[in-house]
Amino acid sequence: MGRLFGTDGVRGVANADLTAELALGLSVAAAHVLAEAGTFEGHRPTAVVGRDPRASGEFLEAAVVAGLASAGVDILRVGVLPTPAVAYLTGALGADIGVMLSASHNAMPDNGVKFFARGGHKLADELEDRIETVYEQHRTGAPWSRPTGSGVGRVTDYAEGFDRYVAHLIGVLPNRLDGLKVVLDEAHGAAARVSPEAFARAGAEVITIGAEPDGLNINDGCGSTHLELLRTAVVEHGAHLGIAHDGDADRCLAVDAAGEEVDGDQILAVLALALREAGQLRGDTVVGTVMSNLGFKIAMEREGIQLVQTAVGDRYVLESMKAEGYALGGEQSGHVIVLDHATTGDGTLTGLMLAARIAATGRPLAELAGVMERLPQVLVNVPDVDKSRVHTSQEVAAAVADAERELGATGRVLLRPSGTEPLVRVMVEAADIEQARTVAGQLADVVKSALG
């Protein structure tokens, strides 16, 4: 698998890349590394462990629980809950570590292990690196130091986690959702019970699709990666909006009453204005990535809100938010972070807050999302090139400068080397889709000839 930890934990095909042995070993290593770091000092350590409904989550959860308990960590097993619920409960219950078993929006055969530190925050990179090093050391020979007798960890099922998380979601809403009809697509995933319960308790009339997980159907033709069913259901039921989650419910995309998609940029725009109106948008700033639509940036500037842009990835958005104390950030994919109420992207919370804005203003979602015009965006992947030279080639730089002059203030060019493949991504935005396609094609040709 190469380096085990990626941008979102350890992920791979369950029982091939991500085995029970690996999950167990990583859990033991995590316990030892956190103990060395002083996290457990002076008390008996506790972990919150949750999973999404994938079939492989059952044996991987058993492996993680066994590993942690064998290292002397007591376990609160919360069962099938969204990733942000495990993060929240890790903080709310004062646990020393949280573990979520999920591969998010990936297909069912994949799974992943994600660790949270005390407070429900993502583990620091140096701790992940240390866990990987310690795991490799012990995998190749050095025996673990193991507690015996009363020193071994105890395992408790914490069924109260469901109600505690839902109560948290309802408690942070600015207003109720009475009068709204909402269709929820749960992707047959971790929020299949949580999200409908939260929306119903908040007063909405709820219709669900994709809410019958059987361990094998997660993300299968539904959820935030497949909006077709949601579009149809919203129109058929005459709903005010539709909300789509991914498998672990850390994302949220929406559909308006006419069945039109409302993406993460548009959701961020709506929530930014709502939070500013409430005096909660610190620094009048929202954090996005370099892939945020230019229309989002133009809209925020018009509204007097600053957009800070980071590298692609929610981890970079979160780092910027925490470093500067910003309240709102996210990605076009629907990974939205409301830092006052969550330590990670929370799709259910995002959907609730979006619905609350509709209920509070009495304005339809299409009108609220219309605060920004989503400019056409064309992405071309140029394979088999030397991506390391994309920002140093004079030929490429000249072509980019020509393209930017042609596009003017209503267009944008972004060239980005892939993090995992030998290719360069060419992204062009313009007010006119044909112009965007033409410019993207021209730039792709230059990249191919200059770097091929």
List the beta bridge partners of residue 117: 97
Q: How many residues does the chain have?
A: 452
Q: What is the pLDDT of residue 5?
A: 86
Task: Give φ, ψ of 344 to 5 degrees.
Answer: -150, 175
What residue ranges in 192-292 does DSSP mark as E strands? 205-209, 241-244, 253-256, 261-262, 285-289
CB 390 within 8 A of CB 403: no
Q: How far is CA 124 from CA 33, 154, 278, 399, in A?
A: 12, 27, 32, 39
Sign of the four-CA dihedral 443, 447, 450, 452: negative
List pLDDT tens digits, range 256-270.
999 999 999 999 999
List the one residue out of 246, 224, 264 whose CA is nearest residue 372: 264
250 is in an annotated binding site: yes
Q: What is the pLDDT of residue 3?
A: 75
Q: How far is CA 305 from CA 13, 61, 80, 356, 439, in A?
A: 42, 43, 38, 21, 30
CATH 3.40.120.10 corresponds to the domain 163-369: yes
What are the domain boundaries of the chain?
5-159, 163-369, 377-451
Regions of the chain with pLDDT less than 70: 1-2, 419-420
8 is in an annotated binding site: no
CB 296 within 8 A of CB 307: yes
CATH 3.40.50.150 corresponds to the domain 5-159: no
Q: How far is CA 23 from CA 144, 189, 344, in A?
A: 15, 21, 22
248 is in an annotated binding site: yes
* CA distance linking residue 258 with residue 281, whole number of Å: 30
* CA distance linking residue 26 with residue 115, whole number of Å: 10
Q: What is the pLDDT of residue 77?
A: 98
Q: What is the DSSP string of 63-96?
A: HHHHHHHHTT-EEEEEEE--HHHHHHHHHHTT-S
**DSSP-based three-state secondary structure for 310:** strand
Q: How far is CA 360 from CA 283, 352, 354, 356, 440, in A?
A: 24, 12, 10, 6, 41
Identical topology for domains 5-159 and 163-369: yes
Q: Which residues are catalytic?
A: 104
Residues in contact with 347: Cβ distance below 8 Å, sequence separation at least 6, in sequence order: 82, 84, 191, 195, 224, 243, 245, 246, 249, 250, 251, 252, 334, 336
Indicate the DSSP class of residue 58: H
Q: What is the pLDDT of residue 236?
A: 98
CATH 2.60.40.10 corresponds to the domain 377-451: no
CB 387 within 8 A of CB 418: yes
Residue 348: Cβ within 10 Å count: 29
* CA distance linking residue 270 with residue 369, whole number of Å: 6
Q: What is the pLDDT of residue 1?
A: 44
R_g of the chain, CA atoms, integer Å:
23
Give pTM, 2 decimals: 0.91
246 is in an annotated binding site: yes
